[in-house]
Structure 1
Amino acid sequence: MDSASVIIIGAGMSGISAAKTLSDAGVKEILILEATNRIGGRIRNTYFADLSVETGANWIEGVHGEKQNPIWEMAQQLGLRTFRSDYSNLSSNTYKQDGGRYEKAAVEAAIDESEKIHSLGEEYSKTLPPSGRNDISISTFQRLENKIPSTPLEMIVDYYSYDYEFAEPPRVTSLQNTVPLPTFDDFGDNVYFVADERGYEILVYNLASMFLETNSHGVIVDPRLQLGKVATEIQYSGDGATVSTDDRSSYRADFVLVSVSIGVLQSDLIKFNPVLPKWKILALYEFDMAVYTKIFLKFPFKFWPDGDDTEFFLYASKRRGYYPLWQHFEKQYPGANILMVTVTDEESRRIEQQDESTTKKEAMEVLRSMFGKDIPEATDILVPRWWSNKFFRGSFSNWPLGVNRHEFDSIKAPIKRLYFTGEHTSEHYNGYVHGAYLAGIDSANMIVQHIRDGYFEVEIKPKDSY
C-alpha cells in the first residue's frame, strides 16, 4: 500500500488543474490515478487520414468579452492554432431533405424568428425566482409564445440554436440557466475552432508539466502520475481514504479528490464505502450526461462549396437531428478533403450502437441528397464513442430543469475526506473546458483550506433560500 496526502482520480482538465493548484499551495504529496493511458480526459485528438482531429472538445468558447477566458489565455501563450468560427452565412447554406437549398430569405426569416423568441426567453428567465422551482424548459417557453418549431427548416434552426450547444434538445434543457448563457455573457460571443497538430490536449499537458517532472523530450515521467489505474473502490472516513484499483493495488491518502465525469459517477464503475449519502446521490442524478458526436469522413476530392462563408452548412430533415450540421476543413486544412458532421443525444446513442459502414451509408445518403448522386464515396470514416466508453459515459453535463445553486453545492460538497470536482461542479460554466479548469482550482482550494483549518464544510442551504 502506497500513501499520499491527496489522491486525485482522473487526469482530465479538472484533475490536472486541481493537482497544480495543490502543488502551488505546497501540497506536493499528490498521486494522480488515471484509468486510461493518457491525460486530457474528454479533450482528445487522434489521427484520421493523416490529419490531427479533435474527437472531444474542439472549440474555445467565450472569447473577446469583458473577462478573459483562462483557456483562451493559455492557448495564446502556447500559440495554439485556432480559427474563429463564423456561422453568419448559414442562411445561404441550408439544404432541403429532397434536394436543393432553401431561399436565403426563408432561412433568414426562420433565424430571425428564433432569435426573437430567444430574446423574449432571456427577459422571462430574469423574472424567475433563483430557487429554480418555477424553471421551465426552452421548449415550454416556445409553447408559451406559440412558436413550436415544426417544419424541417424551423427544426434545423432550432437544433443549431440549442442542441448544437447543449447536446440535448430544448424540451429537457433549462431556460433559467441557459438563456442567457453565462459563458458568452462573461467571456464574449466568439468561439474558436482548435486545429493544431499538437492537439487541444497540449493545454492539459502544458499545465501538467508545470508541476510534474518531464524528461528531455517533454514526456511526463513523474511517478506521481499513474496511468492505466482504474479506481474500483474508495473507502473513506474522517481520518482519510483508501483507493483500490483493478490491478489489486491500494493507495492510502489523507484526502481523495474524484474528478471523473458525472456519467461515471452515475454508473457502478467506482464503489464508495460507505455508500454515498442519499442527498449526494440525489444531486448527482439530477444532472444529465449529454452525448455530442463529431463524425469525420474522408473523400478523394472535394465536391462541396468552399471559400468565404461556406464552412458550415445545415441539412433540414423531417427527422429532427438527423445528420444536421456539417463543416468542411478547407480553411483549417486546405486540401484535406474531410467533412465533419455533428449529431447529439438519441442520434449519438443510436449511431454508437451500429457499425461504421452503416453510419457511412446513412451519411452518404444525406450528402447525395444535398450535392447530387455523382459525388464520390467516402474512403474512410471515424465515429467517436464517448457514451459507450465506461471511463466517460458521455461528453459533458447539461442543465436540466429546476436545478440551482442548491444542487451544485450538493454535488461538489465533500463527505469527510472525500472531495469532488469536474466540469459538472462548475455552477456557471458546466459543460465547458474553462468550467473544468476553474472547477479544479476551486475544489483544490477547498482541500487546502481543510488542511489549513482542520476542517471544511460547504453550507448547503434549503432550496428555496437561494
Structure 2
Amino acid sequence: MAITKEENLDSNSAVCSSGRDFSISSPSVIVIGGGFAGLAAARALQDASFKVTLLESRDRIGGRVYTDYSFGFPVDMGASWLHGVCEENPLAPIIGRLGLPLYRTSGDNSVLYDHDLESYALFDMDGNQVPSELVTKVGEAFEEIIEETKKVRDEVSEDMSVDQAFSIVLKRRPELRQNGLSQKVLQWYLCRMEGWFAADADIISLKTWDQEELLEGGHGLMVQGYYPVLQDLAVGLDICLNHRVTKVSRRYNGVRVVVEDGRTFVADAAIITIPLGVLKANTIEFDPPLPEWKEAAISDLGVGNENKIALYFEEVFWPNVDFLGVVAPTSYSCSYFLNLHKATGHAVLVYMPAGRLANDIEKMSDEAAANFAILQLKRILPHASEPIQCLVSRWGSDSNSLGCYSYDIVGKAHDLYDRLRIPVDNLFFAGEATSMLYPGTVHGAFSTGIEAAKECREHLMEQYTHLELFQPVMAEEHSTKYAPLQISRL
C-alpha cells in the first residue's frame, strides 16, 4: 500500500495507509495498537466522524486476545473469559447482538478462582484423585486464610506480599494449617490465585490485590472465541497491520508517528494502547519524553505472565469437569488444565502455567513445552493418550506483548492504573493496565478505549468548533441493538 510521507505538522491533516489526505474539516487521530482497547477507541472515533488510522505491529488484530483456528475450530490462546456475565458488562451489548454463546464456569465473582468448587477434579502426583470433600474443606480454609490476611493488612502500615501475609496468618491461627495431602491442595488453591494475577504470591501486593471492581454474573468462557467480537469492532476501520511504531512526537498542533521502516503518519492526536510490557521495554521513543510521573507509573506497575498449551486429542479420556488439577507441595509445582470439551464439545485440554513457571516454560522449545504439559497430565491420568496436535503461547517473550496483563506490586499504589490513563497533551492512553476498575480484563481494555476516545474527542472540540454536529461516540448500530447473553452450564 502506498504511504505518503508528511513532515509538516502545520498542515493540520492526517495521512493514512490508503494514501489519502484528510482535509481540515475533519479531526484526525492515530490509534497505536490493535487490541481491544485500540479497536474500541478507533471504532468510537470513526463512528463520531473522525478520520482514524490504526497502526498495529502484528500481522493480525486482537493483541493479547488471539483465537487460533489451527485445530479446525476456535481456541482462544490469549484471553478467553468474560469476567462478569451480566448486562452491566461493557462488552455484553456486542456479545449479545452477535449471539455468541457463553459457558459459565462459575457463578461466583471471586478473583480467587473462576470455577465453581464442584467443577474441579484434583489429583496427586501418583494419579490418586483427591476426595471432593477434602477439596471443598481446604477451599473453605483457603478463603478463611484470605479473610485473615485482610486483618493483617489493616494492622500494618507498610505493604507486604500475599505470601508473607499467609505466613503471618498461619502462625497466628495454627488450626488453619494444612498437612499432608491437605497442604498440597492448599498450594493448588494458591496456584489458582496466582493464575488470576499471572504472578507469584511473593510479589503480589497485600494492600491492593482485591481493589478491582467485580461485576455480577460470575465468569463465562467464550465458546466460539473472542475473534467474532474483534471482527465486529474492526469493520470499516483503516487498519495498518505490520506497522511497528518506533517514535511518537507530539507538538501543540499535532502528533507525528514513525513506524519501523521509516514511514511517517501525522494527525491531530494519538491514542496509545500498546501493552504495559512494551511500554516498560522503551521500544518506542517519545519526543519530548513522557513526564516523570507517567514514566513512574509505567515502571511501578507489574506485568505478569500466563501461557496456554492446548492439547488436541482424538477422544476424551478425562473426567467431565471444568478443571483438572495436579496438587503438589508448592504452588510452583502445581498444575491445572482447562477442559474445553465440556464447554465446546471438542476434545481439548489447555494447560495454563502462570508466573515463574510460565516464564520457565517459555525457555523451552514448543515441542519441549508441549511434552512438559503432557507429562503433568500423565501424572494424574497415567493412561492418557498422545495429542494429535498442540499449540503453545509465548506472551512473555513475544515482542508485541512482553507479558500477559498487569498486577499490583508490593509497596506500590493502586492509582498507578489511573496515572497511566491520564493524557499527556494530545496523547491519550488506553488498555487493561489503564483501568482502575477492571485491570487485566478484556472488558477493562475495551472500556478504557471508549473512555480515551471520549477524552480525545472533547480535547479536539477546542480546535474543531463544528464537532457538535458529529454523531455521539459509538454509533447506534454498535451500542443499542442488544440481545440477552446466551449462557449455558452443562
Structure-2 separation of matches of 1:128 and 1:156: 28
Say whether the 8 Å CA contact 1:139–1:148 is kept in structure 2. Answer: no
Q: Output the amino acid matched with 2:184.
A: P
Say whether the 8 Å CA contact 1:7–1:30 is kept in structure 2. Answer: yes
Give the Å deviation of 1:333. Answer: 3.2
Tell me the alpha carbon deviations over residues 10-49 of structure 1, each in whole angstroms, 9 at most, x when there is no partner.
Answer: 11111111122223444x1221111112222111101233
1:29 aligns with one of 23, 26, 51: 51
SS at match of 2:82: strand
Structure-1 separation of matches of 2:426 and 2:405: 26
Q: Measured at CA, do residues 204 and 40 of structure 1 come closer, stay the same or move farther in structure 2, by a change above 3 Å?
A: same
Give the Å deviation of 1:189. Answer: 4.8
- Counterpart for residue 439 of structure 2: 430
- Counterpart for residue 38 of structure 2: 15
- Counterpart for residue 343 of structure 2: 332
1:141 aligns with one of 162, 165, 172: 165
* TM-score normalised according to structure 1 size: 0.84
Say whether the 8 Å CA contact 1:294–1:383 is kept in structure 2. Answer: yes
Tell me the alpha carbon deviations over residues 248-289 of structure 1, each in whole angstroms, 9 at most, x when there is no partner.
Answer: 211111212111001110113211222223222111011111
Structure-2 separation of matches of 1:258 and 1:204: 18
- Counterpart for residue 283 of structure 2: 269
Structure-2 separation of matches of 1:179 and 1:406: 13
Say whether the 8 Å CA contact 1:142–1:148 is kept in structure 2. Answer: no
1:156 aligns with one of 188, 191, 194: 188
Structure-1 separation of matches of 2:187 and 2:40: 39
Say whether the 8 Å CA contact 2:271–2:427 is kept in structure 1. Answer: yes
Say whether the 8 Å CA contact 1:91–1:107 is kept in structure 2. Answer: no
Give the Å deviation of 1:443. Answer: 1.5
Say whether the 8 Å CA contact 1:40–1:205 is kept in structure 2. Answer: no
Say whether the 8 Å CA contact 1:323–1:363 is kept in structure 2. Answer: no
Does residue 116 of structure 1 match 2:116? no
Q: Measured at CA, do residues 431 and 92 of structure 1 come closer, stay the same or move farther in structure 2, by a change above 3 Å?
A: closer
1:314 aligns with one of 283, 300, 325: 325
Say whether the 8 Å CA contact 1:128–1:134 is kept in structure 2. Answer: no
Does residue 74 of structure 1 match 2:94? yes
SS at match of 1:430: coil
Within-5 A mapping of 1:324-363: 324-334=335-345, 336-363=346-373
Does residue 380 of structure 1 match 2:389? yes
RMSD between aligned residues: 2.5
Q: Output the amino acid matched with 1:155.
A: Q
Q: Measured at CA, do residues 250 and 149 of structure 1 come closer, stay the same or move farther in structure 2, by a change above 3 Å?
A: farther
Within-5 A mapping of 1:203-242: 203-209=229-235, 212=236, 222=237, 224-242=238-256
Q: Percent identity?
A: 26
SS at match of 1:282: helix
Say whether the 8 Å CA contact 1:312–1:328 is kept in structure 2. Answer: yes
Q: Measured at CA, do residues 135 and 442 of structure 1 come closer, stay the same or move farther in structure 2, by a change above 3 Å?
A: farther
Within-5 A mapping of 1:119-130: 119-121=147-149, 127=154
**Structure 1: unaligned runs, 5 residues or longer:** 213-221, 456-466
Q: Output the amino acid matched with 2:202.
A: R
Q: Output the amino acid matched with 2:74.
A: S
Structure-1 separation of matches of 2:334 and 2:368: 13
**Structure 2: unaligned runs, 5 residues or longer:** 7-12, 15-27, 107-114, 171-175, 465-490
Paired residue total: 425
Say whether the 8 Å CA contact 1:421–1:440 is kept in structure 2. Answer: yes
Structure-1 separation of matches of 2:393 and 2:262: 30
Q: Measured at CA, do residues 281 and 89 of structure 1 come closer, stay the same or move farther in structure 2, by a change above 3 Å?
A: closer
Give the Å deviation of 1:355. Answer: 1.3
Within-5 A mapping of 1:170-185: 170-179=201-210, 181-182=212-213, 184=214
* TM-score normalised according to structure 2 size: 0.80
Does residue 94 of structure 1 match 2:122? yes
